[in-house]
Structure 1
Amino acid sequence: MSLGSPKNCLEFFKTIGRLKHIKRTGWVRSDVNDPETISGHMYRMAMMSFLLDEEDNVNRDRVMRISLVHDMAESIVGDLTPHCGVSNEEKHEREVAAMEHFSKLVGEKAGNEMFNLFLEYEEQKTNEAIFVKDLDKFDMILQAFEYETDQKRLGSLEEFFKTTEGAFSHPKVKRWVEELYKQRAESLNASTAESDK
């Protein structure tokens, strides 16, 4: 089989297609109804990157690409969290092996680009990688708030907010986080007032 052959491309498409069905582990563990998939999470992060402009001092296209690649290996290794009993080193090794597999399937040009974007995110040495990490954490707490609100379980996903407290670095994302916290506080206050009646 030659690299990037139609057969290899179909294998690649089918493998990453699993991301449309793999539920995010944190939500499953928290007994959320109908938890989001990995691809849903990555898609919204990529869409968030459309809101970047020159003043944000990051390359919007690169942020979008990293967002679409950063969890791709989970189509093979699954969504491993600290609760899964796998060390960070082992998780990284498994994900690197998955990305190397993809590189062999799709050919040198696309494969190297995806692999290097993945490593850039993992190493957190560029402004774009750091920004995508902010998006990753922000999308998680936004999703937590949506579950709390939509499933009438306000305050029940506090652990997700606690793990990201003070963890955001980019001014734009910090403003989004502030607004989210404001809306969540308003919801919690309204719920408390309603239950006190």
Structure 2
Amino acid sequence: MHILEFVRTAFSLKSTLRSGWVLSDIPHPETVAEHSFGVAALCLLWPDIKGLNKDKMLKMAILHEICEVITGDIVFENGIYVNNERNVEKVSKEHEAIETLFSKLDNETLKQLVLEFLEQKSPESRFVKGVDKIEMLIQTMIYEKKAPPGVLDQFWLNSEKYLKERGMEEYYNCLLQARNNSEFKCKHNQINVFKDILKLKNVQKSAWRLKDVRNPESIASHSFGISLLSLVVPLPNNINREKLVRMAIVHEIGKLLSGDSICETGRFINQQKCKLKVESEICSLQQILPEPMYKKCGSLSAEYLQQKTIIAKYLKQLDRLEVVIQSLFYEKFCNSELCDEFWNNANMHIKDKTLRKYFEYLLNQRNRRS
């Protein structure tokens, strides 16, 4: 079960806070998992660029901070100032972490993608790094509403050089102008959409909140988890991994406006409530995304919600597997009986042979622990 070991290790990014915000005394800062979701979502929604492989960039975006599972979020820059000694230490630790992590996964392709991002030599890796900085600047503007003036200036100074080097200075200038107007509106509408999508970091998963779980994960954190699973699990022959990854990234963005409503409790399903939930989320998608983005990405989320295609039904099983993996973590801190319905739900719906094997392994671990 090396894949599950890798995934459960990577899930610690859901509780790893971004060091830059912590050191700046930002209250309740985002996690590394939420940031990784943000970068992946922005890469997906970004207009296609000739010569760049988008599916490669999506995988890279999901995994680009995976080393921090072992190294933590090492800060070696402060604005334009670089601590070279600390940077050398960071690079060394990251390469060691890659060897350790991927020895559990045995997936050379994904390992090389992470190395490619760290080396910053390919067009795709440089673009993802640019999007990483744009995502950080949007988050900076959100935090600046509550932070003392000037505290987060270093993030602007840091990002400017990266975006200029990557031919993305136009977006930096657009964000800088938006920073200086009270409405936080940018002339590039895609940036305004990105800002809305990142609000999923603040939408808690209702299933955990209703169980009184302390600090329940967000929709963004959960979406990172299912996106990671979609990258690493062996797939049936009739499932296209590239489409699965794209669908996983956007599968819950409709909850940005509709909220995370519950229509299932264990084996009991409120059909009418589920129907209204689907309609509400699809309506939200159409409001959030401009038509070109909806056709390319929002339609994938709608396909998932409607549960009529083989790939949508498979992703739903993957979603239930993700929930029980997360449940094992939360059960360390709460009464495990409160989470029984998630296990019953997964037990009833996970049919794929490989996913079933993973579920039974996790269930056995849970039973041994109790």
Task: Tell me which interval the TM-score lies in, with the shorter structure as reference length.
Answer: 0.7 to 0.9
Residue 160 (structure 2) pairs with residue 161 (structure 1) = no
The answer for unaligned runs of 5 or more in structure 2 is 78-82, 184-370
So what's the TM-score if we normalise by structure 1?
0.80
- Which AA in structure 1 matches 2:88? E
Q: Deviations over 1:134-160 (max 9, x none)?
A: 0121112211111012x2545431111
Structure 1 distance, partners of 2:150, 2:51, is 35
Structure 2 distance, partners of 1:176, 1:32, is 25
Q: Deviations over 1:26-45 (max 9, x none)?
A: 10000001011111111110
Counterpart selection for 2:128 from 106, 126, 132: 132
The answer for unaligned runs of 5 or more in structure 1 is 1-5, 189-197
| 8 A contact 1:53–1:60 mirrored in 2 | no
| 8 A contact 2:39–2:132 mirrored in 1 | yes
Residue 69 (structure 2) pairs with residue 75 (structure 1) = yes
- Which AA in structure 1 matches 2:172? V
- Which AA in structure 1 matches 2:153? E
Match in the other structure for 2:178:
183
Structure 1 distance, partners of 2:65, 2:147, is 29
Structure 2 distance, partners of 1:159, 1:42, is 21
Divergent runs of 4+, >4 A: none
1:123–1:152 Cα change, 3 Å: closer
Structure 2 distance, partners of 1:94, 1:156, is 29
Residue 48 (structure 2) pairs with residue 49 (structure 1) = no
Question: CA offset at residue 90 of structure 1?
Answer: 2.2
Question: CA offset at residue 122 of structure 1?
Answer: 1.4
Counterpart selection for 2:17 from 23, 45, 48: 23
Q: Rg larger in 1 or in 2?
A: 2
| 8 A contact 1:24–1:37 mirrored in 2 | yes
1:105–1:142 Cα change, 3 Å: same
So what's the TM-score if we normalise by structure 2?
0.44
| 8 A contact 1:15–1:76 mirrored in 2 | no
1:152–1:31 Cα change, 3 Å: closer
Question: CA offset at residue 56 of structure 1?
Answer: 4.7
RMSD: 2.3
Question: Number of residues paired by the alignment?
Answer: 177
Structure 2 distance, partners of 1:119, 1:42, is 16
